[in-house]
Structure 1
Amino acid sequence: MRCPNHLLIELEQLRRLKARRGYRGRFAPSPTGVLHFGNLQTALLSWLQARCSDGEWYLRIDDLDTPRNRPESLLRIQSDLRWLGLHWDGPPMLQSSRRGHYSSWLSFLRRSGVLFACRCSRRDLAGKPVYPGTCRAIEAGWGWQAQRLPSWRLRVPEHNPYGSGDVVVRRADGFIAYQFATVIDELCFGITDVVRGNDLRDALPAQLSIYAALGQSCPRFWHGPLLYDSEGQKLSKRDASTGLDAARSKGEDAAHVIGQLAAGLGLVPQGSRLSAEELLMEVRDSDALPLDS
């Protein structure tokens, strides 16, 4: 399939930029609540990896899922990162400002015949970890039916090496799918390395299938450990007690929080107090970051 010239030109420019600048990382939270310590641990690991590589580190706000967004969270995310000394390069990028860009790529893929309309509901697919291909061989129609639009799926070749099944790239409610938007952004911003929590490892097959469909190479992916509460549950934004407000209310400063996060990662002894920059100097030459590919 032939990519439109303006998209090809953009990708070529960014490939050259990536090659010239070296490491380019990012942190991409959703503005659906305060950052909890698990989010902050991932941000710290991502920032350390970028700075240890003498690279750039960007902040992307994944705010496409409009009904779940909280307007106050956007500024709060930025202020929390600054308070910890995790400064990013350039202005924050909001995915909501790039909807037209994602739509251009979707239009290209649809014209290329690699997308199909899917009218399967969540109930239809319950218990099926991989999409069984129900709608790929039928004409489901792209318009409204029974007051519902279809989702758009990428037709992934059978027996592909990633085992993703046919990936949703636009949801039935009209929102761009997370998997698709994040792939387009990694490409268009020349991201070379993605550091994220181990809970997002399951997203990798779908994203790799999208890279393959676009004929593009993917970044290097790194996955860090998760944080759990006292009951063994993964930390959630629904629990405000796991954010920086609770820490500050107990008189803890940024040096205490950085030391706590770093000690939990095995980078410094328990009880350490240090700034993000001091931690960077500690780990720069140690190859000690607890990241798995």
Structure 2
Amino acid sequence: MTFTTRFAPSPTGPLHLGHAFSALLGFDLAQAEGGTFLLRIDDLDQSRARPEWEAQIKDDLTWLGLSWPEPCRKQSECHAEYEAALDRLWQMGLLYPCRCTRRDIREALSAPQEGAPIEGPDGLVYPGTCRAERAAWVGRGRPTNRTLRLDMAGALERIGVTDTRPLRFETFMQDLNDAPQNPEKSREEILSGIGDVVLARRDAGAAYHLAVVVDDAAQAVTHVIRGADLHDATFIHTILQDLLGLSRPRYLHHRLIRDAAGKRLAKRDDARAIATYRDQGLSPQELRAMIGL
């Protein structure tokens, strides 16, 4: 099995130091293992994706000394694969349409009897408002103009996760993992802390959690290297891999690059964009040293 990893940025803004850390770490590990480093363009959100940002991503990574096979996989070109995965989950009876807006969810969770809202890896944990309407869709075709959620309780039952048989995934390079070494969650922890996540959006097709799982399988990715902020999302991805019969990669959730106030960097933080340091005359080696590589 060839070590294969990927760096998968969204072309919605400039790459910053956090992206540099993740991309360089993945490239270095692939080189050390005689493996393959892939660049994937996660451009599902076509309302924000821009060709000029995609071009700058490649320019910045090339300046850092990275290389990858071309052409790159682009999510905007893979909708048929995502639709096939959604069809399979629908036929299993594990998806249901949801008409709730983000505002609806916030208001439902703000009711006094609900207690403090819980923030999960997919945003506020969904209160299940539309789950009761699932029966009305039995025997009907999958709607393509509705938001679709995963029936998490049904999914866990199907893959055999219980409160005495937790869900686990495999990590690697423990000295570089900024996350629990033996990650696991029980059925109750998943239901209360993650809930029925969105797998398709009414106006945009497949959502991130589904697309990334399909992409990694299609590209035979064996090792996923990404920030510790995505640690809990990996439980979602592991569930989907098991439901769809896909191989599980191994995971490394590395430390995040933060600003002076301790806040993790975002694309809007142009002062720490790779291009800014390039324009200031910094060398790739100096940037590596700056981020601890």
Q: Do these two structures clear the TM 0.5 threshold for a shared fold by scoring above it?
A: yes
Question: Which string of whole-angstrom CA distances, capped at 9 and with x for unpartnered residues, describes residues 230-289 of structure 1?
Answer: 22221111121111232123221222222323xx25xxxxxxxxxxxxxxxxxxxxxxxx
The percentage of aligned residue pairs carrying the same residue is: 41
Query: Within 2, Cα distance between the matches of 1:157 and 1:72?
Result: 42
Between the two structures, name the one with larger relative contact order (CA 8 Å, sep ≥ 6). 2
Alpha carbons 2:9, 2:40 under 8 Å: kept: yes
Query: Within 1, Cα distance between the matches of 2:83 and 2:198?
Result: 14
Give the corresponding residue for 1:214: 244
Give the corresponding residue for 1:54: 34
Larger CA deviation: 237-246 vs 250-259:
250-259
Name stretches of at least 5 consecutive residues in structure 2 with no aligned partner.
Answer: 107-116, 120-124, 162-166, 168-184
Check if 1:97 corresponds to 2:93. Answer: no
Give the corresponding residue for 2:133: 138
Superposed, which structure 2 residues align to 1:1-293 within 5 Å? Answer: 19=1, 22-126=2-106, 127-129=117-119, 130-139=125-134, 149-157=145-153, 160=161, 161=167, 162=185, 163=190, 164-261=194-291, 264-265=292-293
Alpha carbons 1:156, 1:209 under 8 Å: kept: no
Alpha carbons 1:119, 1:151 under 8 Å: kept: yes
Letter in 1 for 2:262: G
Cα offset, 1:108, TM superposition = 2.6
Q: Secondary structure at the match of 1:196?
A: strand
| TM-score of the superposed pair, with normalisation by structure 1 | 0.75
Name stretches of at least 5 consecutive residues in structure 1 with no aligned partner.
Answer: 1-18, 266-293
Alpha carbons 1:65, 1:175 under 8 Å: kept: no
Cα offset, 1:187, TM superposition = 0.9
Letter in 2 for 1:232: G
Alpha carbons 1:63, 1:94 under 8 Å: kept: yes
Cα offset, 1:149, TM superposition = 4.6
Larger CA deviation: 29-38 vs 132-141:
132-141
Q: Secondary structure at the match of 1:212?
A: helix
Q: Secondary structure at the match of 1:67?
A: coil
Letter in 2 for 1:226: L
How many pairs are equivalent? 240
